[in-house]
A and B are shown apart, each in its own frame.
Chain A
């Protein structure tokens, strides 16, 4: 009688490698994009928010802030790029949270894929969403009479800068998404973070009429630097190098601190 043994475990390379990671992130990004396609309502914020904000601020506050609406358009719309990127970035955590609520994440976690792939794919899909949002914002702005005083290269640079900043904030959002219990809680906290940041900045109004303590806040608020940089890029006036530097330093710091925390948290939940 012969009793077979199980085949000895294959001695194999357990590292996933760059090509593998690329393939996994690609497949998962495709999933995230297909989810958007299946649930177009999830694009409402990306599509409508830039339009609503533009209309609201230009026509409601524009005259009061800048004396006339045309001047205000040139002032505020560049700043909205940064605001849009930030808001979309904060929405990532909500999506991640709901993945954890369903069994989908368990399925991914029993597959032999790198732990960062799931997070990176969220980032990639989010970039697509943000890009669409930027195109809509700039397109709509042009329709209502916004003028790019520089050239296409500067537009790309402004969008790129907002994107870089937004992507660094995605890590914070993911961390929130994994730390908090429900998607609603994530949304609530995201709102609490967003509100003071976007309004306590130079996006919507020049800061020189604000009280001193608030001016201090707006000065360190990276959204002010981002707004100033975009303004300089699109209007061709004002300092450029300094605000760009500030944004890049903030983005690098934010990524350096929160990316490892988010990945560690993701590992811990697995």
Chain B
């Protein structure tokens, strides 16, 4: 039985951590894009960085990709210092930025081949890798078409493929699904889950609690350049109340009776609204969900609809800070913001 995980190594980082950020500051004039951010991503896990527009998510990702230099603080990725070892660091990372970074005039294949060559693959390996990733991201048929003819989802997938050419140990995904329709969003989620299953460490930024919940092991919530909460997804969910189950009764008159039955089985937090005909139950774990459905079903209540609702970013902020996120555009609906 050995335990060596927490011994700091010679690079001043803790083994087992793929990303370590301490006190990173980046100001643009009077805008404090990052104002002392600390975070850690453990090797092989997914960290969700959740925050509204303008929180500093993109700035953080750009610092960690060596695209901009922080004003203060330290950051290590794969043990390499962003400031002092940018070249080694670049071999460690893959970045899918918030805005598509494929060459629109080139075909999907040419885009990937180019990056393979720039990553020092031989011509043959670069070709093979491009073909492999096109296949994997269902782009084989569109491989020869210029990327400007691709749909938003295809571009995103090409972008993801491009960031994976070099088999990076750490992947950054900056709002990977903002602006995508729900179907494409699910495709991207599947892909991210697959990368994680294959061992990638992922730092993912998002404005959606739902996305964070789907993909992340741990969450760091940031607002105006500062970390306002972090911890496991379950912990944070418990704090903000997790999801809410909404049951639509066929006969709204039965709603109080339904709530009473649940109360008898220990579920005391149900609320009813006879106006909307809805019974709302905050759910903290899957077991509870099963219990509620079971109880209502067994008692023969007529149910015409069931829905679960994940708290919005606004509700998360409300729960954490006691006040809503103060950006005008804090909780955008999916598919609202254009990608490019």
Contacts and interface: CB of A to CB of B under 8 A. Distances in A.
Interface of A: 1-6, 8-10, 12, 14, 20, 23-24, 26-28, 30-31, 34-35, 38-39, 102-104, 106-113, 270
Contacts, number: 108
Contacts of B3: 1-3
A108 B97 CA distance: 12
Contacts of A104: 101-103
17 contacts: A3-B2, A3-B3, A5-B5, A5-B9, A12-B88, A26-B117, A27-B117, A28-B118, A31-B103, A31-B114, A35-B103, A102-B99, A103-B99, A106-B97, A110-B67, A113-B118, A270-B67
A2 B88 contact: no
B104 A102 contact: yes
B309 interface: no
A8 B11 CA distance: 9
Contact of B91 (A8, A23, A112): A112
A102 B97 CA distance: 11
Given A35-B105, A39-B105, A112-B91, A106 B67 contact: yes
A24 B115 CA distance: 10
Contact of A9 (B4, B78, B93, B110): B78
A107 B172 CA distance: 12
B154 to A, nearest CB: 16
Contacts of A6: 15-18, 43, 78-79
Interface in B193-236: none
A108 B93 CA distance: 13
Contacts of B85: 14
Contact of A24 (B1, B4, B5, B117): B117
Given A23-B117, A31-B110, 12 more contacts: A3-B3, A8-B79, A9-B88, A14-B85, A31-B106, A35-B105, A102-B99, A106-B101, A107-B115, A109-B67, A111-B118, A112-B91
B106 A35 contact: yes
B78 A111 contact: no
Interface centre among A4, A6, A23, A102 (most CB of B within 10 A): A6
Contacts of A27: 114, 117-118
Interface string B161-199: 010000000000000000000000000000000000000
A35 B95 CA distance: 23
Nearest to B100: A103
Contacts of B17: 6
Nearest to B11: A9
Contacts of B67: 106, 109-110, 270
Interface centre among A2, A39, A107 (most CB of B within 10 A): A107
Contacts of A10: 88
Interface string B1-33: 111110101010001111000000000000000
